[in-house]
């Protein structure tokens, strides 16, 4: 019986963790859109660019940076993007991100952008 309770508690905690990641990602996206320098269209365009790169293989982080126009982002926006990328497990040059995880995060970002 204790094993069942422990398993249920672990599942609940895992679910909370995923919801917290989703909330943080969507909150960061909305905060980005509340500024004057990023539009809903720009976010959705960048989401589409990254989605086009996902073909089932892990994706080099440099490809994501190029697709989103990393060098043209404000420092605060780079910080938000880095935090979002950390949710899919990669932020360092030479790293690769998991395509399946990236698709989930892109869905979260798109949903938040469409709320704006």
Contact 68, 49 (CB under 8 A): yes
Tokens of 8: 């249920």
Query: What is the percent of the chain where pLDDT is above 70?
Result: 79
* 109 vs 116: CA distance, rounded Å: 11
- Note the pTM of the prediction, 2 decimals: 0.73
Mean per-residue pLDDT for 8-21? Answer: 53
What would be the CATH architecture of the domain defined by 22-115? Orthogonal Bundle (1.10)
Work out the burial of residue 51: count CB atoms within 10 Å of its CB; fewer than 13 is exposed, 13-18 middle, 19 or more buried: middle
CA-nearest of 93, 105, 112 to 50 is: 105
């Amino acid at each position: 019986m204790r094993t069942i309770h422990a398993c249920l508690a672990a599942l609940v905690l895992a679910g909370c963790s995923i919801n917290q990641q989703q909330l943080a990602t969507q909150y960061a996206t909305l905060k980005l859109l509340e500024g004057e320098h990023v539009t809903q269209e720009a976010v959705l365009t960048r989401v589409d660019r990254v989605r086009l790169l996902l073909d089932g293989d892990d994706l080099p982080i440099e490809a994501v940076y190029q697709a989103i126009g990393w060098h043209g982002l404000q420092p605060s926006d780079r910080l938000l993007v880095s935090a979002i990328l950390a949710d899919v497990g990669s932020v360092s040059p030479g790293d690769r991100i998991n395509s399946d995880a990236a698709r989930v995060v892109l869905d979260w970002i798109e949903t938040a952008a469409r709320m704006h």
